[in-house]
């Protein structure tokens, strides 16, 4: 027995049975999705052209803020290294012949070296030549806007009341935004700042 044909758009598959009968199985053709019209493709390109700049700004912004966060972490580490030396060393040292206390010079050297180890330059700071100095405060400034301030006359509140003598180290470092030329107010870059405060362990 033969199954009637159902149209030219169907595929016929002959299947022979043991009884000798031959069947023709018909399968519906798989529909093929028609490609979009020229107008639809144009709209897709327009949407992509509108979204692409926003996507690029977002990606560059994420990279910028990540870089700034990493730089500030490096600055914090450098300021912490300097503060540790200052709070654990006396200001007066009979073996120190410099007009600047040797503990301050050592602290500044530690900050400069910490930044160098992290891939950042603070070589403009000269440990033995502060821009300004007082009895308990030393300031180092650079032409690029970087600065390092060590204040050994700082005070913090004690847990039982009163004040404790402490040291505060402030480090400022310039940072250039990659999006600066495209954003009003950011073309000149920015200055990142970090402060570390520790109680003095010795007088």
Per domain, the residue ranges of the chain are 1-31, 72-199
Residues 99-121: tens digit of each pLDDT: 899 999 999 999 999 999 999 99
Give the pLDDT confidence score for residue 184 in this predicted structure: 66
* Cα distance between residue 67 and residue 60, in whole Å: 10
CA nearest to 109, candidates 94, 89, 95, 123: 123
- Angstrom distance (rounded) from CA 123 to CA 105: 14
| Per-residue model confidence (pLDDT) at position 10 | 46
Token duo for residue 166: 């402490």
Q: Is the pLDDT of residue 54 over 80?
A: yes
CA angle 8, 12, 17 (to 5 degrees): 150
pLDDT score for 40: 77
- Provide the pLDDT confidence category of residue 8 given band limits of 50, 70 and 90: very low
Phi, psi (rounded to 5 degrees) for 15: -120, 120
Nearest-angstrom CA–CA distance, 124 and 71: 17
pTM: 0.72
Residues in the chain: 203
Average pLDDT of the residues in 69-73 = 96
Q: Give per-residue pLDDT as tens, 122-176.
A: 999 999 999 998 889 999 999 999 999 999 999 999 988 899 999 999 999 999 8
- Of all residues in the chain, the percent with pLDDT exceeding 70 is 76
Instruction: Say whether pLDDT at 5 is over 70.
Output: no
Task: Supply the pLDDT for residue 153.
Answer: 94
- At residue 3, the pLDDT reads 47
């Amino acid at each position: 027995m033969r199954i009637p044909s159902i149209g030219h758009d169907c595929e016929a598959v002959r299947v022979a049975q043991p009884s000798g009968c031959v069947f023709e199985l018909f399968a519906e053709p798989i529909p093929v999705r028609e490609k979009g019209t020229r107008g639809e493709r144009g709209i897709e390109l327009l949407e992509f052209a509108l979204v692409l700049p926003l996507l690029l700004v977002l990606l560059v912004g994420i990279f910028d803020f990540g870089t700034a966060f990493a730089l500030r972490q490096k600055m914090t580490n450098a300021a912490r290294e300097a503060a540790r030396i200052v709070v654990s060393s006396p200001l007066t040292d009979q073996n120190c012949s410099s007009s600047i206390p040797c503990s301050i010079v050592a602290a500044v050297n530690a900050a400069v070296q910490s930044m160098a180890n992290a891939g950042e330059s603070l070589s403009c700071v000269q440990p033995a030549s502060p821009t300004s100095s007082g009895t308990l405060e030393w300031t180092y400034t650079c032409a690029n806007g970087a600065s390092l301030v060590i204040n050994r006359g700082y005070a913090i509140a004690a847990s039982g009341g009163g004040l404790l003598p402490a040291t505060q180290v402030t480090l400022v470092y310039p940072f250039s935004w990659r999006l600066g030329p495209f954003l009003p107010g950011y073309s000149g870059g920015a200055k990142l700042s970090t402060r570390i405060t520790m109680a003095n362990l010795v007088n």
